[in-house]
Amino acid sequence: METNFKEQHDFMNREISWLAFNQRIMDLAENPLIPLLERANFLKITQSNLDEWYMIRVATLIREVNSGATDPDKSGMAPNTQLNQVRKLVKKQLKRQSKIWLKLKKQFKEIGIEILNYSHLTNEEKKFVDNYFISTISPLIEVELLPKDIPWPEMENGKMYFIVDMVSRQDQQKHIFSHFKMPSLKRLLTLPQTPNRFILLDQIIKAHYQEIIQTKFKNRFIAQNIYHYRILKDMDIQNLPKGSKNTEQAVEVALERRTSAPMIFLALDKNAPRKTLKILTSVLSVNPLNTFHILGDWDYDFIKLIKPSLVETPHLKIANLCFTPHKAYHENILESNQIFTAIGQKDYLLHHPYDSYDAVVNFFQQAAIDPNVKEIYITIYRTSKNSPIVKALADAAKNGKHVGALIEVKARFDEEHNIQVADYLRGMGVKVYTSFPNLKIHGKMALVVKEIQGKKEKFAHLATGNYNDISAKGYTDFSFFTANTKYTDDIKRIFQFISGKKGLPEKLNKLYIAPNMLRNKLQKETKRLIKKAAKGEKVEIWMKCNSFSDSKLIKSLYKASMQGVKVHLLVRGLTTAIPHLSQISTDLHIHSVVGRLLEHSRVYIFKNNEKFKCYLSSADAMPRNFDRRIEILFPIEDKDLKQRIYKIFEKMWADRAQSYTKHANGKYTRRVANKNLSKYTPIQEQFLIDAEKHEKEKN
């Protein structure tokens, strides 16, 4: 049966799907079963998500519209149509964020945590705040008249600014505007003797803005009103500058250019009149269509400051306001100095953060000090500040080992940090590579080579997630350790390509890489199952990703779903695939799990009867991952390890407490009604409980 694909009807728009994902995170901020501080943190996440998405994805749409592009996407929407729809949905999300914060703020107050306006302070608190303003805030404020043209470098991306409407004392009919940036101070000020009472820095400034203007302009102007605003710029590094000697230098030039990038988003105090908005859009060269009015407290990054200030307030029982902490399971042998002996005997699979990430850190720390280790290779896409893995690599080089590290300096919003890591490791004697101008190296892999009496032994680590010990506590990922020479030889071959010694591999023993193998492999396995289904076998495809938008792979899955293959897609974020379309995707099903942990692992399973092939990967099913990145897909062949992954997937698919179902109209609904959520334990919570229980039983 040949399926007729009408692309304009058979795919959901990517950006609208992403906004639906951010809505699901907002649901967490409103979920009464989630502790209050955690709900506030989810609200903060929705803003940081929205910021990053707007600076990259919406920026791209704006550029397309400005260039006159009219070609529709796979959903049939032209750039201008997409942009108009996106703006409407963004306004709704910003409005919902404000409503959620007002509810959270009220609930904080009910338990004794107050975030106050200046007018609500006691006289003693006002005196404290006034003194703080005079001694600390005021000296840092630099007020300027709003010129006809503000040089781009003077406007910092994502920072809060204030605009003041003034009139001259000599001619009070003439309005003049001044502006200044929020000082770089802790935005949430704890009031004296009451660590559960706070005031925002912007509230202090608004209470004293007339003094600011009077002092700055020596009584020449009368300040009538003050409003706060915030801008976002186009932060996408589209094409690296030409003429640079290497990728690292090109990225550094591109980062400098970001300071003068066009402004594409303006959020303004809802109380500001139309005249103020008109002045700002003119001066900042922001399209009025890209402006948004926001009411009340916003820019929710200050939320992260609440918890640290409450530590000394025992009567509030901070533990009740946060998720219950759980202890991870520790694979002791992998955290000992016998780690290489253990890996040499069998393969190991860890599921983070349920299984401790300490084993991964130990892999590098032991390699650094083991006298028989001669070589270490690693790819780094994102890593933590003060990373113990980076330190171990430096120690290894110091100890005379050859260390080769690929640092992806194009990792979005980590470019500057990764350049610093590259400089540090280079200075410590590590051979640093910084990838290719047009390919990001996103695959997560490491190789340790030991030499004993002239004989080499290789040990590999492959992962779905980054070499980041901090995010590993909040992201779910798989780690795989092996000494199988077919895997280790493949990794060595990939590093030869990365280092420029050989070309892109066309064939490997066990691994499949993008940009030339990965999509084809997944499509080939899909076609294989279609043939199995035609023979009457029970066949299923299970895929788990962060995002799923590759139309070529989706078409293959659509076809499979119409020819006897049951397709399960577990996609945390956006997916342009649409389930249950008549004559298109009738047996394709999509779930999304969101919760206290960020689902980050990528799993691809192809099952016929009781046999199945299982692959883990660094790659989401997106065109960028398949065509513009070096990604790794690796098989798990050990029967027990495969079965473990499959059981994990099954349990996640069956979850009802924190999962959603996508429908043919593109909408997502909770699998159970809000009022029934308390009847179920979220699957992530269950995994955490099971890991802690497993650790206790071991001891």
Please answer whether residues 680 and 657 qualify as being in contact, where contact means their C-beta atoms are separated by less than 8 angstroms. yes
Please answer whether residues 306 and 188 qualify as being in contact, where contact means their C-beta atoms are separated by less than 8 angstroms. yes
**Residue 388, preceding peptide bond in cis (omega within 30° of 0):** no
Please answer whether residues 428 and 398 qualify as being in contact, where contact means their C-beta atoms are separated by less than 8 angstroms. yes
Q: What 8-state DSSP symbol labels residue 631?
A: E
CA 409/CA 415 separation, integer angstroms: 5
Token pair of 292, please? Answer: 């948004």
Token pair of 422, please? Answer: 């590259």
CA 29/CA 45 separation, integer angstroms: 9
Token pair of 464, please? Answer: 């779905």
Sign of torsion over alpha carbons 420, 422, 423, 425: positive
442, 461, 568, 591: the active-site residue: 442
CA 362/CA 339 separation, integer angstroms: 8
**Annotated catalytic residue 442:** yes
Token pair of 611, please? Answer: 């046999």
Token pair of 629, please? Answer: 């990145």
Please answer whether residues 37 and 322 qualify as being in contact, where contact means their C-beta atoms are separated by less than 8 angstroms. yes
Residue whose C-alpha is closest to residue 123's, from 113, 134, 131: 131
CA 103/CA 114 separation, integer angstroms: 13
Q: How far is CA 347 from CA 206, 494, 687, in A?
A: 61, 21, 22
Please answer whether residues 75 and 18 qualify as being in contact, where contact means their C-beta atoms are separated by less than 8 angstroms. no
CA 452/CA 315 separation, integer angstroms: 60
Q: For tokens 């990517």, what's the residue? A: 14
Residue whose C-alpha is closest to residue 472's, from 651, 632, 328, 616: 328
Strand boundaries in 262-347, DSSP class E: 263-269, 291-294
End-to-end CA distance of the chain: 57
Token pair of 350, please? Answer: 């860890």
Residue whose C-alpha is closest to residue 146's, from 171, 176, 174: 176
Please answer whether residues 526 and 514 qualify as being in contact, where contact means their C-beta atoms are separated by less than 8 angstroms. no
Please answer whether residues 234 and 149 qualify as being in contact, where contact means their C-beta atoms are separated by less than 8 angstroms. no
CA 89/CA 17 separation, integer angstroms: 11
Residues annotated as part of the active site: 442
